[in-house]
Structure 1
Amino acid sequence: MNSMTSSMEIENKYPKGIPYIIGNELAERFSYYGMKTILVVFMTQYLMSQGKLDPMSDEDAKMWYHLFSMANYFFPIIGAIVSDILWGKYKTIILLSLVYCLGHLALALDESRIGLSIGLTLIAVGSGGIKPCVSAHVGDQFTSKNKHLLEKIFGLFYLSVNLGAMVSSLLTPILLNKYGPHIAFGLPGLIMIIATIVFFLGRKVFIAIPPVGWQQYKKDIFSKAGRKAVLNLSLMYVFIAVFWSLYDQTGSSWVLQAEKMDKTINLGFVKFELLASQIQAINPFLIIIYIPLFTYVIYPFFGKFFRVSPLMKIIAGMLIAGISFAIIAVAESRIASGASVSIGWQLAAYLILTAAEIMISITGLEFSYTQAPNSMKSFIMGLWLLSVSLGNLITAIVNSLLVSPDNPDGLLNFTGPEYFWFFAILMFVTGFVFVFYARRYKEESYIQSRDFEKLNPTLTENN
C-alpha cells in the first residue's frame, strides 16, 4: 500500500534547474530576435561593398532572410543527433553557443555580403544546433511526479522567449537607426555571451540525461514505437510547415509593407511614429498576454463543452492564420490603389496571427515532446523545428520564382496583394486537409521516468 501511494505521489515544486534554463532562453532569444528584427532593413538599406553602399533589392533580401531562417531551423536536427548520440544536451548547448557568439561578432564587424554570409552561417549552426536541446532539456527536468507542471513550464518557457524578443525588437531598430550596424548587431552578441554564462551557472543543478550512444539510438529510432513516432509526427510537420511559411514573413514581407504605411500611433494622450522593423515587437507583446489568457480562460471555457485536444488547437490555428494574411492582402490592395494605409491594419493581423501561433507553436512543442520515446526527445524536437525550415524554404522558393527587376524571367507574376492572397489560400486549404489527418492520429504519452533512489539527478554529462 505504501509503495503504491509513493508511486502516485504528486509534487508541485518546479525543478531547481528551470530558472537557469529560462534565464538563458530569455537572453538568447533577445540576442537572436534583436539580430533578426533588423536583418531585412540592414540588407536593403545598410549593406556595403568595397566601402560603398550596395543594398539588396526587396526580393533578394526576402530570399536571403528566408534561406537563413531555413538553415537556422535545419541545423536543429543535426544538433539533436549529436546531442542524443555523442555529447548530451548540456555539452551541445555550451559548445554551439560559442559558435553562435562568433556569428554575432562577424555581423558586428563586417557590413559586407561576406560578413553577412559568415555571420548568418555561424548563427544558423549555433542557434539552430541548440534549439532542440534546450526545449528537450526543459522536459528532462520533470518526472512522473511533477509532469502535471509541464504545460505551465512550457508556457513560461515560451513567455521568456517572447519577453526577450519584444524588448530586442523595440531596441535594436533604434540602435540601427541612430548608431548603425556595428552597435545594433554588437549588443545582441553581448547578450548571447551573457546567455551562455547563465546556462553554465546551472550545470550543478540540472537533471541531465546522458547520450544514449549510436547503438541504442539506432535501436530506438528503428523500433516500432520510434518508427511510428517519426512517421506520424513528420506527416503532421509537413502541414505545420505551411503555417511557418506565413508566420516568418512578419520579418520580411510585412516589414517591407510597413515601410509603405503610415506608422503613426496616436493614443490620444501620446503620439509617436514607429520604425518599420519595430512593428514586430507587437507579436511577443501579445504572446505575453495571450499565454495566460489561453491557458486559464479560453481553453478551460471551451473545455467545459468538449475536449480541446492538441490537434484541435492546431487546426483552429491554421485556419485563423489564413485570415491574418487575408487582412494583409486587403491592406496591400489599398496601398496599390494609392490610399494612405495605417499600420493599424498590420496590428489587426498580428492580433490574429499571434493567436494562431499560440495554438500551433506552443501546442506543437508540448505535443511533440509527449509523442517522442524517451531516448528520442531531442531528435523529435529537431524534426519539429525542421518544419520551420521547410516553411521558410517554401517562402524562399516562391520569392525566387517571382518576376522582379533582378529576375525578369520569373515564373510567378504575383504583384502586391496577389502575393499575400496566395499564402492565405494556401493556409486555408492546408488547414482543411489537416482535419482528415488529425481524425486518424492516435496520441501517445511518453515522459522521462527516473528512480531517484538509484540515480543521481546531476549526471556526469555536464561535469
Structure 2
Amino acid sequence: MSQDYRTTPTETSGMPGGIPYIIANEAAERFSFYGMKAILSIFMVQYLWLMGDAPTEQMSEVLASENYHKFNKWVYATPFFGALLADFFFGKYRVIIWLSILYCVGHACLALMGVSGSAGWWLFAGLSLICVGSGGIKPCVSAHVGDQFGKSNQHLLTKVFNWFYFSINLGAFLSMLATPWILEWHGPHLAFGIPGVLMAIATLFFWLGRKKFIHIQPDSKKFKRELCSKEGLGVILRLLPLYFFVAFFWALFDQTGSSWVFQSQDMDRHFVIDWLPSQIQSINSVLILTLVPLFTFFVYPTLEKFVKLTPLRKIGVGLFITVFAFS
C-alpha cells in the first residue's frame, strides 16, 4: 500500500474525511443494483424472448422466478469469498475497487443485450459478473466504514450507520421508481444502461476518496487467530441459530421481487397514480426512509431516557416485531 494512504484512524472527535465518499458510493451503487433487480422479473417474462438475433420461446413466470432467486442466491453467497480476499490478501479498498469494475462490466452486458448473439447469454454473463462484483462490495463496505473510526470518534458510529442505511434505501427507492418507468417507456437498453452509469459513478466516488480513507492492512495471521480463538468461536456458535431463522426471513421477503411483482399484475394498482407492477417493491424503502429519521431523532432518544439501547438490543427487539409483521 502506498505511503500516501493512512493505515490507522486519525485522532479526532469529528467525522472522518472518507465518510462522504463512502455514503455517496453506496447510494449510487444501491441505485444501480436495486434498479436492475427491480425490473429483472418482468424483463425476463415480457422482453427477453423478443431480443437477440431471433425471437425465442417466452419465459414463464415460474422459470423467471426461479432464475431471479438463483441470482439472489449467488449475490449473497459470493461475499463469503470477497471477505476472505479482503482479510487475507488485498485489503478492503482494493477488493471493493477491483470488483466494482467487474460490476460495471456486468451492467454493460445487460445494457447490450440483443445487440448481437443470444440475449440469454448476455443476461447470464451480466448477472454473473454482478454476482462477483457484489461479492467484493457487500462484505467490505460496512466494515470499511468502521475502519475509518478510532477511539476518539467511535461515538459517531451509530449516527453514521443510520445515514449509511438511509443512503442505501434512498438509492433503492429512487431506482425502484425510475427504472420500471424507463423500461416501460424507453425499453431495456436504457433501463439497464442507466443503473450501469450509476455504478460507474459509484466506483468513481470510491476512487476519489482513496486518499481520505483509512486503509487497514490485511493480516491473515491475525484473522486466523481471532477466528479460531475461544472468544471468536463462541461468537460464531452463538450467532448460528440466529442465521438459521434469518434465512427463512429472506426466503420469504425476497418474494417481493418475483411472486409479489407477478401477482400485482392482476391487482388494482391505482393509488394517487397508476403504479407499475415492478414499482410495488419500493414500499419497503419508503417505510425505511420514513422510519430511520423518526427513530433516530425521536424514538431512540426518548427510550434512552429509560433504558440503555445497545445495537444488539435494537436488533433483538426488531426481530420480535418482525415476527408479528409476518404473522
Q: Distance in 2 between matches of 1:227 and 1:157?
A: 29
Q: Is the 8 A contact 1:99 1:125 kept in 2?
A: yes
Of 46, 67, 77, which aligns to 2:80? 77
Q: Alignment partner of 1:149: what SS?
A: helix
Q: Is residue 2:188 matched to residue 1:181?
A: yes
After superposition, give the CA deviation of every residue in 1:283-334 in whole Å (9 maximum; x if it has no partner). 2222122112122322333444444454444344344435545xxxxxxxxx
2:246 aligns with: 240
Q: Distance in 1 between matches of 2:141 and 2:308?
A: 30
Q: How many residue pairs are counted as aligned between the two chains?
A: 311
Q: Is residue 2:42 matched to residue 1:36?
A: no
Q: Is residue 2:193 matched to residue 1:192?
A: no
After superposition, give the CA deviation of every residue in 1:382-415 in whole Å (9 maximum; x if it has no partner). xxxxxxxxxxxxxxxxxxxxxxxxxxxxxxxxxx
After superposition, give the CA deviation of every residue in 1:125-147 in whole Å (9 maximum; x if it has no partner). 10232111111000111111111
Deviates more, 1:248-257 or 1:202-211: 248-257
Of 93, 107, 110, which aligns to 2:110? 107
Q: Is the 8 A contact 1:37 1:172 kept in 2?
A: yes
Counterpart amino acid of residue 179 in structure 1 = H
- Of structures 1 and 2, the larger Rg is shown by 1
Greater RCO, CA 8 A, separation 6+: 2
Q: Distance in 1 between matches of 2:278 and 2:99?
A: 28
- Go from structure 1 to structure 2 and tell me whether the alpha carbon gap of 1:311 and 1:216 turns closer, same or farther (over 3 Å shift): closer
The offset of 1:45, in angstroms, is 1.0
Written as runs of structure 1 = structure 2, the 5 A alignment for 1:243-322 is: 243-266=249-272, 272-322=273-323
Q: Distance in 1 between matches of 2:288 and 2:173?
A: 9
- Go from structure 1 to structure 2 and tell me whether the alpha carbon gap of 1:11 and 1:225 turns closer, same or farther (over 3 Å shift): same
Structure 2, unaligned stretches of length 5 or more?
Answer: 1-10
After superposition, give the CA deviation of every residue in 1:369-388 in whole Å (9 maximum; x if it has no partner). xxxxxxxxxxxxxxxxxxxx
After superposition, give the CA deviation of every residue in 1:333-382 in whole Å (9 maximum; x if it has no partner). xxxxxxxxxxxxxxxxxxxxxxxxxxxxxxxxxxxxxxxxxxxxxxxxxx
2:131 aligns with: 124
Structure 1, unaligned stretches of length 5 or more?
Answer: 1-9, 267-271, 326-423, 425-463
1:342 aligns with: none
Counterpart amino acid of residue 317 in structure 1 = G
The offset of 1:246, in angstroms, is 2.2
Counterpart amino acid of residue 161 in structure 1 = I
Q: Is residue 2:152 matched to residue 1:145?
A: yes
Counterpart amino acid of residue 71 in structure 2 = F
- Go from structure 1 to structure 2 and tell me whether the alpha carbon gap of 1:63 and 1:323 turns closer, same or farther (over 3 Å shift): farther
Q: Alignment partner of 1:153: what SS?
A: helix
The offset of 1:12, in angstroms, is 4.1
Q: Is the 8 A contact 1:35 1:172 kept in 2?
A: yes
Q: Is residue 2:214 matched to residue 1:211?
A: no
1:457 aligns with: none
Counterpart amino acid of residue 248 in structure 1 = D
Written as runs of structure 1 = structure 2, the 5 A alignment for 1:281-430 is: 281-325=282-326, 424=327
Q: Alignment partner of 2:271: what SS?
A: strand
Aligned-CA RMSD value = 1.9
1:438 aligns with: none
- Go from structure 1 to structure 2 and tell me whether the alpha carbon gap of 1:55 and 1:305 turns closer, same or farther (over 3 Å shift): farther
Q: Distance in 1 between matches of 2:253 and 2:135?
A: 18
- Scaled by the length of structure 2, the TM-score of the pair is 0.89
Q: Alignment partner of 1:260: what SS?
A: coil
Counterpart amino acid of residue 185 in structure 2 = K
2:46 aligns with: 45
Q: Distance in 1 between matches of 2:198 and 2:157?
A: 27
Q: Is the 8 A contact 1:44 1:61 kept in 2?
A: yes
Counterpart amino acid of residue 282 in structure 1 = I
- Go from structure 1 to structure 2 and tell me whether the alpha carbon gap of 1:142 and 1:309 turns closer, same or farther (over 3 Å shift): closer
Counterpart amino acid of residue 294 in structure 2 = L
Q: Distance in 2 between matches of 1:307 and 1:177?
A: 49
Q: Alignment partner of 2:223: what SS?
A: helix
Q: Which runs of 4+ in 1 moved over 6 A?
A: none
Q: Distance in 2 between matches of 1:315 and 1:19?
A: 30
Q: Alignment partner of 1:132: what SS?
A: coil
- Go from structure 1 to structure 2 and tell me whether the alpha carbon gap of 1:258 and 1:321 turns closer, same or farther (over 3 Å shift): farther
- Go from structure 1 to structure 2 and tell me whether the alpha carbon gap of 1:27 and 1:253 turns closer, same or farther (over 3 Å shift): same
Counterpart amino acid of residue 190 in structure 1 = V
